C-alpha cells in the first residue's frame, strides 16, 4: 500500500525565488492529506500531479501566514472545480473565525461545506481516523499554539500462510475466519490457533511532521518508533540563539529528536532564507543522526513496507 510524503514547500516565513513556504502532501493508499498550506499550495499540488479535489483533509500546524495563506485560495478554487463533498480542516483556534471571515468576504457561494475541527495544541489526541489511518496531534513549542501531526497507518490485515492452507486443507470460510483473527475449528474438532495460521504482512508504518517548534523531548517520545520524521531545522547550530528566541529548532536539535524518537529516517525543512544551500545543514544533522536528508521541494519520500 502506498505511503509517501511529497514536499510542496520548505521555506520558512517568506518565500524565496526557488522555494515555497511550508506545505506537503501525505499519500496513504492514494488518499491524500495536506499538511500545512503556505502561499501557492494549489499551484504546487497541480505541478506535482495531485488534483486538489482528491484531498481528504487538511491539517494546519499553526496560524502563521506562511503555514496557511495558501489554504484560502485553495478553498475558493475547489469551489470553482465543483467540489460537493465536505472538506475537513484540522487546525488550532481561531481558524473557525478566520474561515468565517473568508466565507463572508470571499466565498459566499461556495458549493461545499468547510468543516473546521479544533486542535487543542496542548493535547496528544486522535484527530482523525479511518480504515487505514489514524492522525494524532503532537503538542509543540512555538510562539503561538502549534501542533505536530503523527500519521499512523493501522495494522494491516492478517495474511494466511499458504503452506498452512495446504497443510490443513482450509476452506474459504475457514480462511476468512483466520483473516478476521479467529482460531479455526477443523471438522475433526481440532482447534488450530490463529497465530499458527496467520502473520502480519508488515509492521504498520508511520510519519511525523514536527514544525514549527523548539526542541521537544516530549514530542520525540510521542512519535517513538516513527519510520519517517520531518522536523523543522530553521537554523544551523551557529544560530542556536536565534532558534531559541523564535520558537524554532536547529539542525542538531532536529537530529536529537530523531535519535530520541528512534526514527528510521529524518528529513529536515523550514529553512531560514539566509541559507542559500542546505548541504551544511544536513551535514550538521548527520553528525548525530546519519540517515538525514533535506526535504527538497518537489521530492517524494516513500515509506517502504518492512517485511
The DSSP bridge pattern shows strands 265-269 and 228-232 to be parallel
| # binding residues, a second copy (CB under 8 A) | 30
Query: What is the rounded CA–CA span in Å between residue 104 and residue 100?
Result: 6
Of 54, 96, 106, 259, which one interacts with a second copy (CB under 8 A)? 106
Q: What is the 3-state secondary structure (H, E, C) of 37-50?
A: ECCCHHHHHHHCCC
Query: What is the rounded CA–CA span in Å between residue 229 and residue 79?
Result: 33
Q: Measured at the alpha carbon of residue 292, what is the angle toward residues 286 and 296, in degrees to the nearest 5?
A: 130
Stretch that binds a second copy, among 11-19, 24-32, 54-62, 258-266 (CB under 8 A): 11-19
By the rule CB under 8 A, 15 interacts with a second copy: yes
Cβ proximity to a second copy: between 43 and 117 the closer is 43
Stretch that binds a second copy, among 7-15, 53-61, 131-139, 299-307 (CB under 8 A): 7-15
Q: Residues 40 to 59: which contact a second copy by CB under 8 A?
A: 40, 42-43, 46-47
Query: What is the rounded CA–CA span in Å between residue 201 and residue 303?
Result: 15
By the rule CB under 8 A, 143 interacts with a second copy: no
Cβ proximity to a second copy: between 50 and 192 the closer is 50
List, in sequence order, every beta strand (DSSP E) within the chain: 3-9, 23-28, 31-37, 55-59, 87-91, 114-118, 126-129, 133-139, 147-153, 159-160, 184-185, 191-192, 198-199, 206-210, 228-232, 265-269, 292-294, 300-302
Residue 307 CB, nearest distance to a second copy (Å)?
37
By the rule CB under 8 A, 14 interacts with a second copy: yes
Cβ proximity to a second copy: between 21 and 148 the closer is 21
Stretch that binds a second copy, among 101-109, 110-118, 151-159, 165-173 (CB under 8 A): 101-109
Which residue, chain included where needed, has cell 528512534?
262
Q: Residues 59 to 78: which contact a second copy by CB under 8 A?
A: 63-66, 69-70, 72-73, 76-77
Of 4, 50, 53, 98, which one interacts with a second copy (CB under 8 A)? 98
Cell reading at 224? 517513538
Respond yes or no: is residue 212 known to be catalytic: no
From the candidates 66, 88, 212, 227, give the one annotated as an active-site residue. 66
Q: Please write down the long-range contacts of 222-225, taking CB distance under 8 Å and 24 or more positions apart.
A: 222/124, 222/136, 222/138, 222/139, 222/150, 223/138, 223/148, 223/150, 223/261, 223/263, 224/261, 224/262, 225/261, 225/262, 225/263
By the rule CB under 8 A, 157 interacts with a second copy: no
Residue 168 CB, nearest distance to a second copy (Å)?
56
Question: Where does this chain bind a second copy (CB under 8 A)?
Answer: 13-17, 20, 39-40, 42-43, 46-47, 63-66, 69-70, 72-73, 76-77, 80-81, 94, 97-98, 101, 105-106
List active site positions: 66
Amino acid at each position: 500500500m502506498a505511503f509517501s510524503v511529497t514536499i510542496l514547500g520548505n521555506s520558512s516565513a517568506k518565500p524565496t525565488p526557488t522555494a515555497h513556504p511550508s506545505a506537503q502532501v501525505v499519500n496513504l493508499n492514494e488518499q491524500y492529506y495536506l499538511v500545512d498550506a503556505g502561499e501557492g499550495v494549489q499551484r504546487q499540488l497541480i505541478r506535482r500531479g495531485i488534483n486538489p479535489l482528491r484531498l481528504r483533509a487538511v491539517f494546519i500546524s499553526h496560524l502563521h501566514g506562511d503555514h496557511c495563506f495558501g489554504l484560502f485560495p485553495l478553498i475558493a478554487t475547489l469551489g470553482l472545480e465543483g467540489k460537493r463533498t465536505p472538506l475537513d480542516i484540522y487546525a488550532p483556534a481561531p481558524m473557525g473565525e478566520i474561515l468565517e471571515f473568508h466565507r463572508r468576504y470571499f466565498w459566499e457561494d461556495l458549493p461545499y461545506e468547510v468543516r473546521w475541527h479544533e486542535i487543542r495544541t496542548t493535547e496528544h489526541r486522535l484527530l482523525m481516523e479511518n480504515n487505514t489511518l489514524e492522525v494524532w496531534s503532537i503538542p509543540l513549542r512555538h510562539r503561538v499554539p502549534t501542533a505536530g501531526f503523527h500519521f499512523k497507518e493501522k495494522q494491516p490485515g492478517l495474511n494466511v500462510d499458504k503452506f498452512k492452507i495446504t497443510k490443513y486443507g482450509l476452506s474459504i470460510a475457514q480462511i476468512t475466519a483466520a483473516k478476521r483473527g479467529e482460531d479455526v475449528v477443523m471438522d475433526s474438532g481440532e482447534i488450530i490457533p490463529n497465530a499458527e495460521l496467520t502473520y502480519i504482512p508488515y509492521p504498520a508504518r508511520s510519519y511525523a511532521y514536527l514544525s514549527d517548534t523548539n526542541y521537544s523531548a516530549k514530542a520525540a517520545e510521542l512519535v517513538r518508533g516513527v519510520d519517517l520524521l520531518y522536523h523543522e531545522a530553521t537554523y544551523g547550530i551557529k544560530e542556536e540563539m536565534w532558534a531559541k528566541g523564535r520558537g524554532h529548532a536547529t539542525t542538531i536539535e532536529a537530529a536529537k529528536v530523531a535519535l530520541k524518537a528512534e526514527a528510521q529516517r529524518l528529513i529536515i525543512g523550514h529553512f531560514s532564507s539566509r541559507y542559500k544551500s542546505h548541504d551544511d545543514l544536513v551535514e550538521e544533522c548527520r553528525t548525530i543522526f546519519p540517515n538525514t536528508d533535506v526535504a527538497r521541494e518537489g521530492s517524494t519520500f516513500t515509506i517502504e513496507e518492512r517485511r
